[in-house]
Structures are given as C-alpha cells and as structure tokens.
Amino acid sequence: MTAISRNAKFVRENVILHNSFFENSIPLIASENLISPLQREMLNSDFNGRYAEGWPGHRYYQGNEYVDRVELRGIELAKKLFRCNFADLRPISGTVANMAVLFALTSPGETITAPALSDGAHISTARFGAVGFRGLNTVTYPFDSERMTLDIDGTARVLREVRPKVALFGMSLFLFPVPLRELADVFNEVGCTVWYDGAHVLGLIAGGQFQDPLREGAHVISASTHKTFPGPNHGIVLANPKDEEMEKALMRGVFPGVTSNHHLHEMAALCIALDEMSRFGRSYARQIVRNSRALAESLYDRGFGVLAADYGFTASHAVALNVAALGGGSACAELLESANIVVNKNLLPGDKSSQNPSGLRLGTQEVTHLGMKTGDMEEIASFFERLLVKKEDPARVRKDVISFKRGFRKLKYCYGEGYPAYRFERFLR
C-alpha cells in the first residue's frame, strides 16, 4: 500500500480531531444534525462521483438505471410524507433550493416580499444573497419582536401595497409558525405565489409538530435536509403547484437552472432519511419541541434573557437568548466553545452588526437525536449559568461537560439505533 503524504495525514488527523471534539461536546447549533449509519453507507457508495443530469428516465448520461429507481422511490416517499403533488430531490443545498425557486418563479426587476435579516431571515433572501443575484427588489414585513413573529396586520398591509409576484415566508431564527392561515385571504386578494422556506423546521413539519404550510396557504416549500430533518447536507423542493406550467418551471429552475449533477450519494441518503422520518419522525419531532421548551424554561429560571418569554419561548427546535448584558453574542459563543458547548451568535431584532450581535441561537435537534430528554436540558442550562453568569473556569466546566456527554453518544430515532454517532471509519492503519 502506498504511504500517504504529510498533507493527507494532516487532513485526516484534523478530521479525526473534529470527530473527537464533537463526541465530547454539547452540540446546540440550530442548523446541524447527525445522520444514521444507513445514510452514511449511501454517502460512501459508488453513487458518489457519478452523474445523472436531468429527471429520472430522461438523463443526459448512461448508467443510471439504479439511480433512477432510487430517485423515483425517494420522490414517492417525499410526496407521501409531506402530502404534496410535487417533490424534487435534486437541489444540493437549501440555498440552492431557494435559488431554484427564485429562478422558476421570478424574473429580474420584479419585487418579492420577505422577512428582514435582522428579524431572523436567512441570508439567501437578503439583497446581498440569492435574491440580489436574481436582480429582485425586496420589501420586508413588519415584525413583532415581543412575540418573535411577523406582525400580521402590518404584513397584510405590505402585501396589499406591494402586490408582490412572490411572497416569501420562513426564517433562520424560527421560533413560532408563520401566520399563513391568518393571511390566506390576503394572498388570494393579491394573487401572489406563496413560498415557504422550511429549512429549519422541515423535520418538525414532517413529524406534524409545527405547522403544515402546504395546507395553510403556501404553494412551494424549499428546504435543506440536515437541520430538524436529520438527513444529508442536501436540499429539496416540495409543492402543490398552481398549474402544470408552475410545476415545469420548478423543474427547470432546479435543472438546468441552478443544478448540474445533483450529488447522487446525498440524494440516496436523503431517500433513506425520508423513510426514517416516516417511521420515527413524529416521536422525534415531539421530543425536539419538548426539549426546546424545557431548555428555554431552565435558562429563564436562571435569569437569562430568553426571548418570547410571555408567549411560551418557542414552538420549534430553536431558543433565542439576548446576552448583550453578558458581553454579547460573539464573546458568549466563544466562551461556551472553550467549555465544549457549541452555539452560534445571532442577530436579534434591532441589531446592526452581524459580527457583534446581542443574541445566541440554540437548537435541540441534535442533542435530541442523541437521546436527551427534558431533564437533561436543566443540566445544560446549569453549564450556561456556570460559564456566563458565575464565570467559572471554562476548563473545569469542560471537564463536567465531557463527563455528561459520555451518556449521549449513540443515535436514536433512526435505523441502527444505538450506533455510535461519532464513529470514524478508519480504512488506513
């Protein structure tokens, strides 16, 4: 066997160190998750590196008989799980799925409405993101910062004034459902296409624990598939199209619009994830929401500035903290990381600087995937208090975090339950 180079060893050793770090950490990034061993098998298959441009049965490459079978089955699974008429598994990320919808439903120079970035929207819907690259004008909705959701009357007014071709809803800091039902009459009055970015809450939607956008007024859902939906780092478009032309436009938007080859190994892993969520999704999503509320309550009881306290804190996987009085989001996130607690700084309503925001965003979907329950959220909250309030030595807290995490290193809610979540397959000795 040929000896590997110093560069290859360096890369491999750092990946192993990364695995070890997360094995010994409390992962609370709201946009991350773990995948099952069966999904890992798909990622390591010969699907990796093959090409299958186009739609199943209408490819531009040969050798896709089995790829087509897998993708068609995945489309069936997605349509059944989300009760929709159209599903496209080809976007390679959530942002690419957003770009595909923009490509399909809008033209340069047109106007769309969307949440503001400082109110929790995703960067792809900002003018310096995918919306700007499409050459669109964006008008943002008023936001109720107390309730951490859109101002319904103000949003209705904006929709009537702007009369956008597309009204986009969905958040990156997603605490509560979007008021689609409350705005349904306005959508019909304006005649806009309603687009829902469900990247963060796709698993909660699949598990019936959040809202059901396609039954509440949305025509299209775009999403990534690796947040509350515990699949590979990929994307998806789901829809109940208004007509056949809209369906064709969505397909063209994905390919050839913004995608060439669609990473077949990830597509196969996504098919497994769709099946797993049909089996385990309801109980998994229910526990995520329970854990989020328990974490929020435990932090609030310890004096933290948990947002939307008067409205139940959260109805999703996410919890938002205002830590301006504790040094700000950047400083607090770095301090927590020094004790092996992984969160991210986050803009809160009114913030001006994304590099020094006042907030932290927490998510419970990954710790839930590892089997944590509501009682464990109190222990996590105590680590926050020890670090950020009592100013304990991070090394001392880190030791306790590592000890706590030893009981949560195996996967739940998937095929292969009990499999080590951080196992690194070593092929070279």
Task: Give the other-Cβ count within 10 Å of 331's Cβ.
Answer: 14
- Cis omega before residue 256 (within 30°)? yes
13 is in an annotated binding site: no
239-261 pLDDT, tens digit per residue, is 999 999 999 999 999 999 999 99
pLDDT value at position 187? 97
Task: Give the other-Cβ count within 10 Å of 334's Cβ.
Answer: 12
Residue 220 maps to a domain: yes
CA dist list (Å): 332 to 326, 376, 394, 429: 7, 21, 12, 39
109 phi and psi angles, rounded to 5 deg = 95, -15
Helix (H, G, I), strand (E, B) or coil at 131: helix
Domains in the chain: how many in total?
1
Residue 359 maps to a domain: no
> Given a cut of 90, is residue 207 above it in pLDDT?
yes
Q: Give the tokens for residue 51.
A: 């090409």
Residue 403 maps to a domain: no
Task: Output the CA angle 408-235-285, nearest 5 degrees.
Answer: 40
Task: Give the other-Cβ count within 10 Å of 47's Cβ.
Answer: 19
122 is in an annotated binding site: yes
Q: Which domain holds residue 210?
A: 40-274
Q: Rounded distance, CA 314 to CA 296, Å?
A: 8
169 phi and psi angles, rounded to 5 deg = -130, 155
Residue 91 maps to a domain: yes
Residue 330 maps to a domain: no
Residue 318 maps to a domain: no
Confidence of residue 3 (pLDDT cuts 50, 70, 90): confident
48-89 pLDDT, tens digit per residue, is 999 999 999 999 999 999 999 999 999 999 999 999 999 999
The dihedral of CA 217, 313, 197, 266: what is its sign?
negative
120-168 pLDDT, tens digit per residue, is 777 777 777 777 778 888 999 999 999 999 999 999 999 999 999 999 9
Average pLDDT of the chain to the nearest whole number? 95
Confidence of residue 428 (pLDDT cuts 50, 70, 90): low
What secondary structure does DSSP assign to 268-296, as a single string? Answer: HHHHHHHHHHHHHHHHHHHHHHHHHHHHH
The rounded Cα 28 to chain-centroid distance in angstroms is: 13
Q: Report the half-sphere exposure of 342 (CA within 13 A, side-chain side).
A: 19
Q: Rounded distance, CA 410 to CA 421, Å?
A: 5
pTM: predicted TM-score of the whole model, two decimal places:
0.96
For position 86, which CATH number holds? 3.40.640.10
pLDDT value at position 209? 97
123 is in an annotated binding site: yes
121 is in an annotated binding site: yes
> Given a cut of 90, is residue 193 above it in pLDDT?
yes
Residue 128 maps to a domain: yes
Which residues partner with 88 through β-bridges? 237
